[in-house]
Amino acid sequence: MSEFEIIEAVLFAAGRAVSLEKLEKITGKPQKVVLSAVQKLTEAYFSRGSGIEILDLGERYVMQVKPEYSELMREVAPKELSAPKLRTLSMIAYYQPLLQSELVDMRGSGAYDHIKDLIERGFVESVPYGRSRQLSTTPLFADYFGLKRNDPKAIKEKILELLKSQGGQSEINLWIGKKIVVVTPMYESLMGMCGIREYFVVNAYSPSKEEISRLLEADVVVISAGYSDTVRQYCDGEILEMHSTTFEDLIEAIALLTEELPDEVDFKIVENNIKKIRETRERYVSSAVLIEKKVKPATEMVSKIVNDLSLGISADGVLIAPDYGISKSGVKIEKGAQILIPTHRSVEGDLLQRVCTKYDSVLEGLRKFEK
């Protein structure tokens, strides 16, 4: 085998940049011979109009698909990094050296998994720094993205150059700081309660092809509790499961979003809405004080409402059940129920209105029994 053939095989098999020193060792040839072979190989690929090219990265050489064909290869090429992981990597590259604690503050707790994967792939190195760890890119990162050297300043300039060519300042904000938020239709009003203005509404439980693309790009996905396993197959970002049975559930949901998206929320709007929710709850609790009839909750969801209203509970009390009919275990929940609480399938309006409708159904139903 000639050194020409060996070098071609090495670059093809490596899938990343190979140093001149490594090529010398594998071929057993002196540097001058290897350099000549690499130059001839590079010229050969260029002259025959191949979709493959060989790049000189400064005594490191890589064989890759030409940029103009990269989009066509998207369907068959290995999906090395999801969009959320790529944004995490972009932020490390842009701000390096970056403390892991600072990155998690910016990207959310889901960044821990991203960091672990990026370290395992060899793109990022992590070293102890006080109580945290300091993150920076590796030479493999430079090889992978076609940079001649792993220089933080050069990397930052390259990132800005690429992002500006793609979409200007808004694209830069997206990749080096701003999160993509996806929310299911039921929780869209929660965005308003938090003053979050930029988000995408997606049916995360049975998404269309276009919606799957949104989920793949998402940093944060807001869904109903209990559907995490269903949604996880479509996304790699942080999944926030929300409850919306009681007024306290809404306050906890707002608090969770405030914690995960501190840069996106409007704290004045959050403060006003929490105050509104608490005042609304107080009106319902005060109204329930006059009700003497005891109740029998059929499910945990009903128990949460009954307990919040401080209603008396008895085994022979008024049976209250949700209106969704069959439980996950196949039990007919509403059988024999004297009061049915409307669930999200049969209630419209924003989240606060939905909670009020549930509480109204309990109180109005019990008042009829007391007449």
Per residue in 228-237, pLDDT (tens digit) is 988 988 887 8
CA distance 139 to 125: 10
Q: How far is CA 78 from the centre of its chain?
A: 21
User: Is the domain of 190 the same as that of 226?
Assistant: yes
Q: How far is CA 210 from the centre of its chain?
A: 16
Return the CATH number at 133: 1.10.10.10
User: Is the domain of 163 the same as that of 193?
Assistant: no
Residue 283 placed within a domain: no
For residue 322, give the nearest of 301, 296, 294, 304 by alpha carbon.
301
Q: Are 306 and 295 in contact, with CB atoms under 8 Å apart? A: yes
Return the CATH number at 217: 3.40.50
Residue 282 placed within a domain: no
Cα dihedral 130, 219, 274, 204 in deg (nearest 10): -150
Q: Write out the two tokens for 143.
A: 């090889």
Residue 170 placed within a domain: yes
At 345 the pLDDT is 66
Cα dihedral 208, 214, 215, 220 in deg (nearest 10): -140
User: Is the domain of 318 the same as that of 296?
Assistant: yes
User: Is the domain of 155 the same as that of 100?
Assistant: yes
Q: Write out the two tokens for 135.
A: 């993150």
User: Is the domain of 331 the same as that of 365?
Assistant: yes
Q: Are 22 and 11 in contact, with CB atoms under 8 Å apart? A: no
Whether pTM > 0.85 for this model: the answer is: no
- Side-chain-side CA neighbours of residue 277 (13 Å): 27
User: Is the domain of 195 the same as that of 171?
Assistant: no
User: Is the domain of 136 the same as that of 191?
Assistant: no
Q: How many domains does the structure of the chain reveal?
A: 4
CA distance 245 to 253: 11
Rg (CA), the chain: 29
What is the residue-level pLDDT of the chain in tens, covering all 371 positions? 788 888 888 888 776 678 888 899 888 999 999 999 999 988 888 888 788 888 887 788 888 777 676 555 555 444 566 777 877 888 888 888 889 988 887 777 778 888 998 888 888 999 998 888 999 988 878 777 767 777 888 787 777 666 655 554 444 455 555 678 999 999 999 999 999 988 899 999 988 877 887 887 788 999 999 899 889 888 878 899 999 999 999 999 999 999 888 878 999 999 999 999 999 999 999 999 989 999 999 888 899 999 999 999 999 999 998 887 654 444 556 567 889 898 866 667 899 999 999 999 999 999 988 76
User: Is the domain of 141 the same as that of 218?
Assistant: no
Range of the domain at 59: 3-69
At 197 the pLDDT is 87
**SS3 annotation, 147-195:** CCCCCHHHHHHHHHHHHHHHHCHHHHHHHHCCCCEEECHHHHHHHHHHC
Residue 327 placed within a domain: yes
User: Is the domain of 129 the same as that of 208?
Assistant: no
| Domain endpoint, select from 273, 303, 328 | 273
| Domain endpoint, select from 38, 69, 100 | 69
At 109 the pLDDT is 78
At 170 the pLDDT is 46
At 172 the pLDDT is 47
User: Is the domain of 93 the same as that of 60?
Assistant: no
Residue 50 placed within a domain: yes
| Domain endpoint, select from 143, 176, 209 | 176
Residue 212 placed within a domain: yes
CA distance 179 to 195: 15
Residue 75 placed within a domain: no
Residue whose token pair is 């890589």: 62
User: Is the domain of 137 the same as that of 197?
Assistant: no
User: Is the domain of 48 the same as that of 62?
Assistant: yes
Residue 78 placed within a domain: no
